[in-house]
Amino acid sequence: MDGPGANAGLAGALAGWVGALTGDPLLVLATLLGLITPPGGFLIYLTAAQAGAQVHHEVRELVPVIAALVLLLAALVLFPPLTLWLPGLFFG
């Protein structure tokens, strides 16, 4: 698996554990963003080292993903009912 793919998989797994332990979807999304964005983005450096790629190449590929996650986080913070809208459809 290439660097960004491995990065997304590991970030998703870690964010899932945070969500399972806290039950807060905003915390999950904020943790995911913190793990994949530089300069503190541990997962970018980890997957770049594993893939033998340079960090700036991975960051360039992840810019659209990071932008979408930031917009999603902003929407969830500004409109809190969105957080429970989809689960409400499934579980009434």
| pLDDT per position as a tens digit, 49-90 | 888 888 888 888 888 888 888 898 888 889 888 877 877 888
pLDDT surpassing 70 at residue 20:
no
Q: Which pLDDT score is estimated for 19? A: 59
Structure pTM? 0.63
How many domains is the chain partitioned into structurally?
A: 1
In which domain, by residue range, is 80 found? 3-91
Q: Is pLDDT of 9 > 60?
A: no
**Mean of pLDDT values over 26-31:** 77
Give the span between the Cα atoms of 73 and 50, in whole angstroms. 29
Cα–Cα distance list, 91 to 18, 85, 87 (Å):
22, 10, 6
Helices 81-91/55-78 angle, 10° precision: 80
Q: Which residues in the chain belong to E strands, given as ranges?
A: none
Q: What integer is the mean pLDDT of 14-39? A: 70
In order of 17, 47, 55, 66, 71, the CA distances from 24 in angstroms are: 11, 27, 30, 20, 18
- Neighbour count for residue 4 (Cβ, 10 Å): 21
pLDDT (0 to 100) of residue 71: 92
Instruction: Give me the chain's average pLDDT, please.
Output: 76
